[in-house]
A and B are shown apart, each in its own frame.
Chain A
């Protein structure tokens, strides 16, 4: 188990100050609608990267009449360069489970499922032990905390190693025992998810913030971050910096400030949001990490001055060629064409005309792919082509 602590800007780490059980007890003292109102008012947004407002998601699921409903924890942390969820699950699993339990209370679910990525199999026992302990403490199970009729259990289900299963509908397919491939949306999981029943799928970190909001209040959460991206965010920082690791920073921190904190100020670029995110060049380091500016699920890969940007592009495209589920045409075939294009660029054999063809193809992939994977796999490549033209041409 990792013992790396989550670093902060000198403040006390929020998660460490929230005692197990307190957020849940507060939530259970409220009517269900008030829980959702609180989450909505806090403007908590999905920490996996998509940034969908959690309160609205819960409200959709709560409004569905069909039962049973499910709360899923997306612990398929597969985005390259992100490892914050691993740390949260190692150190603060109670908060995650509490978030799930509160979510279950809010939407009317009685089963929660943690979809744990295959590479985190070593965490399974820890999570199951935590479930067992929480049951013993009546924080899970029947009539939780003495609230008559509120029953909620959590099970851990294992992923099998596919990146795409971090996409919520592919995750659900995988949970049901099928090939992990995204479904058509609509219907969205909140209407028809696991076993075609209303299901909310939330990221590990999102769920962990819920009890914090219950304990510290909406105003506290909104006082941190920006107007549209409230609260703290955990960042997984890696690459060419002195102090890689997991950091708690408020949303809205500039790239430059973040680099200062992690000892990566000489970077020539930062890959934000993992392989599916964009590459921010030095000239844009004053931009903010927030949903309204540079959105991110928390992955920050620092690119040092000595790095070849085409190597980065190659690495990223190679990743997507491996990880596309292979369902839809733009993503299945398109990523391969982009990878081959990067190889041609490296070899100096890609004409400007063909590069334009590839950019057009990348645009089509972004609008015509079935899921977020194909819609975002070319984002990094396009931003590298845009910002590092000099480095790319003339080989």
Chain B
């Protein structure tokens, strides 16, 4: 799967005054298919023209160390740890940045190279403040690993003793500049991958620091909390604001009833915290581990993902009905998904005028939070104030989301703590629980297990596919399998940055009971073409939004799924480090194959969902009660910084 398309080229040229239409492009486009001979450490091979030395070496099994390089990012060539000797060149060359365009002989570990690498490490360590044993990235730090490899045995060029203040103003992301090595992976992530531009290098020379705009605390910035910068930070300069101590405290408190909901993406990635290959799902082993850790009940966020589909789908139907049948012109279309809190905050900051387009349906996490402290508390006769509701999410933005002041519809903070995959992995380690070897156990009632629809929320396009599976069946009365083979709606899948799909509705069936109070019939949809789109990564979201603003093709869509993170939730800012397109693809594969194994794959067929509408949300989807608990509103934040 080529998902490099979701990672756009570097910043657009500002210098529009010269050539307004000129795209920035890299040369070497000529002579496609040509190969060049290259000799690395005495071994010969041929590589395509323009291959970097780093790529060529990798293809031969030669490892060259890197720090500023990241497979998702533009080449920087600034840390200089990857320098190699290129015959004929006076200076050492950065392997990551040197395209091979003529036959070359390269030495990757000569004396000069080893000395230079050691110097680079010594210099980086001289700026580094803090000890490895007290570091959140101890054991998974790229700098630490290289220091070990290159035999760093002291601080040859001194060491910073006085730490600078840590910025933990954000609910989601902590910035500890004591650990920063100025590799600018976060900067390139923020500017190139996400196009939010929250982080940038400031000052020159040894005074360079990575800064927020006007050096404001991150919590006040136009930061969407996606945590993509965390996933690409080689050290502990960026990490998700930890909640694990508070969760342990709750688990230790005998008066607290502690429940956890787990999202699909962490389950496809938790294995990585235990050394398993990416894409090894450990869903049911994790359930056992969580119960052993002391959680009273383990719930599946897929339940509320299914609920989201019902609520969001109904909302879409209502919007369409109002616009198409009742002729109301004020209806905001296309409707945007709202389950990615990073995307929601992006929209609030960058496109506040489109807030009416955001589905008012809460994200699955927040729906669950509201139900746990109401429906579930009632059912079990628990005082909601003694319930501690924890959410395992692949996401750093979920930490912000659960702290949004409006997320208190149960009368309490609906979700108390968001844990990232990494944090829970750490908790498992602390508890000595080897998740992969645990026996399997199921999710707890009354919410039960999942449908495949809820599950695929974890991958980009998954919300759209789930919505389509339900909408198609509810509207046409036909099985989705009769339209898409095995019910897999392949056109919305994949890692292409933006996808546009049209789905024809040739005939319609009867309105199902659950929606009868909202629409009299489906005749108005007969022969209609449902236009939908999917975008992941906010740089791609920006493309779609700009197109909508200018009345392009996406402005005629009915429904658009936006995910803040490349790859969707499976590439979220709370997922195990490292990340790459291969790792994200492996996680996606795990999610889709698990979907296939499930008996129920459509949200509206989830028996627990049906039951909730029968017992609790008795006025149906988008009814009064669901509006009270399952829907929310947004804040037009704009780009104003406090």
Which one of B9-17, B378-386, B441-449, B583-591 contacts A?
Answer: B9-17
Chain B residues, CB < 8 A from A328: 77-80
Distance in angstroms between the alpha carbons of A337 and B206 in the assembled complex: 10
- The answer to whether the Cβ of A333 comes within 8 Å of any Cβ in the partner chain is yes
Q: Which residues of the other chain, A, contact B158 by a CB distance below 8 angstroms?
A: 337, 340
Query: Restricting to A171-203, which residues have a CB under 8 Å from any CB of B?
Result: 175-179, 184, 186-187, 191-192, 194-197
CB contacts (< 8 Å) of B204 on chain A: these are 162, 322-326
A175 touches B15 (CB 8 A): yes
Task: Give me 22 A-to-B residue pairs in the complex whose CB atoms sit less than 8 angstroms apart, sorted by A's number.
Answer: A176-B13, A177-B13, A178-B14, A187-B26, A187-B28, A195-B13, A196-B26, A323-B205, A326-B207, A326-B208, A327-B76, A330-B80, A330-B119, A330-B120, A332-B123, A334-B123, A337-B123, A337-B157, A361-B123, A367-B83, A368-B80, A370-B78
Whether B119 contacts A335 by the Cβ 8 Å rule is no
Q: Is the CB of B24 closer than 8 A to any CB of chain A? A: yes
**Is B62 on the interface with A (CB-CB < 8 A)?**
no
Is B237 on the interface with A (CB-CB < 8 A)? no
Tell me, rounded to whole Å, the shortest Cβ–Cβ distance linking A364 to chain B.
4
The answer to whether A226 has its CB under 8 Å from any CB of chain B is no
A258 at the interface (CB under 8 A from B): no
| CB-CB nearest in chain B for A331 | B205
Q: Which of A68, A328, A340 has the most CB of B within 10 A?
A: A328
Which B residues are CB-close (under 8 A) to A329?
A: 78-81, 120, 123-124, 181-182
Cα of A117 to Cα of B160 in the assembled complex, Å: 36
Asked whether A330 and B123 contact (CB < 8 A) given A178-B14, A184-B75, A368-B83, the answer is: yes
Complex Cα–Cα for A368 and B110 (A): 13
- Shortest C-beta distance, A107 to chain B (Å), equals 16
Within 8 A of A (CB), among B115-142: 115-116, 119-120, 123-124, 126-127
CA distance A363 to B208 in the complex (A): 23
Known: A176-B14, A186-B99. Is A191-B78 also a contact (CB below 8 A)? no
Is A56 interfacial (CB-CB < 8 Å)?
A: no
Q: B46-61: contact bitstring with A at CB < 8 Å (1 yes, 0 no)?
A: 0000000000000000
A 47-102 contacts with B by CB, 8 A = 66, 68
Task: For the complex formed, measure the closest distance between the CB of B114 and the CB atoms of chain A, giving whole angstroms.
Answer: 11
Q: Is there an interface contact between A186 and B18, defined as CB atoms closer than 8 Å?
A: no
Looking at the complex, which one of B22, B27, B81, B157 makes contact with A195 (CB distance below 8 Å)?
B22
A139 within 8 A of B: no
A236 to chain B, nearest CB (A): 25
* Shortest Cβ distance from residue A129 to the other chain B in the assembled complex, whole angstroms: 21
Interfacial residues, chain A to chain B (CB-CB below 8 A) = 66, 68, 111, 162, 175-179, 184, 186-187, 191-192, 194-197, 320-337, 340, 357, 360-361, 363-370, 375
Q: Which of B90-98, B248-256, B338-346, B414-422 contacts A (4 or more CB under 8 A)?
A: B90-98
Q: Which residues of A contact B119 (CB under 8 A)?
A: 330, 334, 360-361, 364-365, 368
A327 to B90, CA, bound (A): 21
Question: Chain B contacts of A370 at CB under 8 A?
Answer: 77-78, 80, 94
Instruction: Indicate if B483 sits at the interface (CB-CB under 8 A).
Output: no
Total of A-B residue pairs, C-beta within 8 Å? 139
Is A368 touching B92 in the complex (CB atoms < 8 A)? yes
Please count how many residues in chain B sit with their CB below 8 Å of the partner chain's CB atoms. 49
Cβ–Cβ < 8 Å partners of A332 in chain B: 123, 182, 205-206, 208
The 3 A-B pairs of least Cβ separation, nearest first, read: A326-B208, A177-B14, A184-B97
With contacts A176-B13, A179-B201, A329-B120 taken as known, whether A196 is within 8 angstroms of B24 at the C-beta atoms is: yes
Whether B206 and A177, one on each chain, are in contact in the complex, defined by CB atoms closer than 8 angstroms, is no
B19 within 8 A of A: yes
Residues of chain B lying within 8 A (CB to CB) of residue A324: 204-206
In the complex the two chains form, what is the Cα distance from A285 to B98 in whole Å?
40
Q: Counting CB contacts under 8 A, is B615 at the interface?
A: no
Q: Bound state CA distance, A375 and B203, in angstroms?
A: 21
Verify B126–A337 contact, CB threshold 8 A: yes
Instruction: Give Cα distance in the complex from A191 to B30, angstroms.
Output: 12
In the bound assembly, the distance between CA atoms of A320 and B204 in angstroms comes to 10
Task: Give the CA-CA distance A327 to B79 in the complex, in Å.
Answer: 8
* B183 nearest in chain A by CB position: A329
Query: By CB atoms of chain B within 10 A, which of A325, A363, A364 has the most?
Result: A364
- The distance in angstroms between the C-alpha atoms of A337 and B160, with both chains bound, is 13
Residue of B nearest to A358 (CB): B157
| Contact of A327 with B116 in the complex, beta carbons under 8 Å | no
CA A321 to CA B77, docked complex, whole Å: 20
Type the 1/0 row for B198-212, where 1 means its CB is closer than 8 Å to any CB of A. Answer: 000101111110000
CB distance from B354 to the nearest CB of A (A): 28
Closest-CB distance, B251 to chain A (whole angstroms): 43
Among A66, A175, A333, A334, contact of B27 (Cβ-Cβ < 8 Å): A66
> Least Cβ distance of A75 to chain B in Å?
18
Interface hub of B24, B28, B75, B206 (most chain A Cβ within 10 A): B206
Which one of A179, A196, A323, A363 has the highest number of Cβ atoms from chain B below 10 Å of its Cβ? A196
B15 close to A176 (CB less than 8 A): yes
* Beta-carbon nearest neighbor of A357 in chain B: B156
Q: Which residues of B from 19 to 38 have beta carbons under 8 Å from A?
A: 19, 22, 24-28
Identity of the chain A residue whose Cβ is nearest the Cβ of B125 in the assembled complex? A333
Contacts of B99 in A (CB 8 A): 186-187
Q: Which of B25, B77, B201, B206 contacts A333 (CB 8 A)?
A: B206
Shortest A379–chain B CB gap in Å is 13
With A191-B27, A332-B182, A337-B157 as known contacts, state yes or no: A368 contacts B91, CB within 8 Å: yes
Q: Does B476 contact A (CB under 8 A)?
A: no
B112 on interface, CB distance cutoff 8 Å = yes
CB distance from A166 to the nearest CB of B (A): 14
- 13 additional A-B pairs beyond A326-B204, A370-B77, beta carbons within 8 Å, are A111-B18, A186-B101, A196-B25, A196-B27, A323-B204, A326-B205, A332-B205, A337-B157, A360-B119, A364-B120, A366-B91, A367-B90, A367-B92
Q: Are B19 and A68 in contact (CB under 8 A)?
A: yes
Task: Please tell me if the beta carbons of B206 and A336 are within 8 angstroms of each other in the complex.
Answer: yes
Query: Known: A175-B15, A334-B123, A361-B119. Contact between A195 and B24, CB under 8 A?
Result: yes
Which A residues lie within 8 Å of B11 (CB)? 178
Quick check: B19 and A333 within 8 Å, CB to CB?
Answer: no
Nearest residue in A to B91 (C-beta to C-beta)?
A367
Residue of B nearest to A179 (CB): B201
A184 and B205 within 8 A (CB): no
Q: Give complex CA distance A197, B101 in Å.
A: 18
What B residues does A368 contact at CB under 8 A? 80, 83, 91-92, 116, 119-120
- Is B127 in contact with A333, judged by CB distance below 8 angstroms? yes
Instruction: Scan residues 87-113 of chain B and give those whose CB is less than 8 A from a CB of chain A.
Output: 90-92, 94, 97-99, 101, 112
Closest to B96 in A: A184
Give Cα A335 to B119, complex, Å.
Answer: 13
Closest chain A residue to B23 by CB distance? Answer: A196
B417-467 residues with Cβ-Cβ distance < 8 A to A are: none
Q: Please state if B94 and A184 are interface contacts (CB–CB under 8 Å).
A: yes
Asked if A326 contacts B201 (CB within 8 A), the reply is: yes
Beyond A323-B204, A324-B205, is A195–B78 a contact (Cβ under 8 Å)? no
Pair B26/A192 contact, Cβ less than 8 Å: yes
* In the complex, chain A residues whose CB is within 8 Å of the CB of B201: 179, 326
When distances are taken between beta carbons in the complex, the residues of chain A under 8 Å from B79 are 328-329
Give bound CA distance, A192 to B24, whole Å: 10
Q: Which residues of A have CB within 8 Å of B90?
A: 367
Cα-based distance from A357 to B123 in the complex (angstroms) = 12
CB distance from B244 to the nearest CB of A (A): 33
Chain A residues with Cβ under 8 A from B208's Cβ?
A: 326-327, 332
Inter-chain CA distance A369–B157, complex, in Å, is: 18
User: Could you tell me the distance between the alpha carbons of A368 and B112 in the complex, rounded to whole angstroms?
Assistant: 10
Which residues on A sit within 8 Å (CB–CB) of B25?
A: 196
Q: In the bound complex, how far is the Cα of B28 from the Cα of A68, in angstroms?
A: 17
Q: Closest Cβ of chain B: how far from A168's Cβ, in Å?
A: 16
Among candidates A111, A326, A340, residue contacting B203 with C-beta atoms closer than 8 Å: A326
Minimum distance in angstroms from A261 CB to a CB of chain B = 33
Give the distance in Å from the alpha carbon of A162 to the alpha carbon of B208 in the complex. 14
Q: Which of B11, B76, B79, B205 has the most CB of A within 10 A?
A: B205
How far, in Å, is B392 (CB) from chain A's closest CB? 38
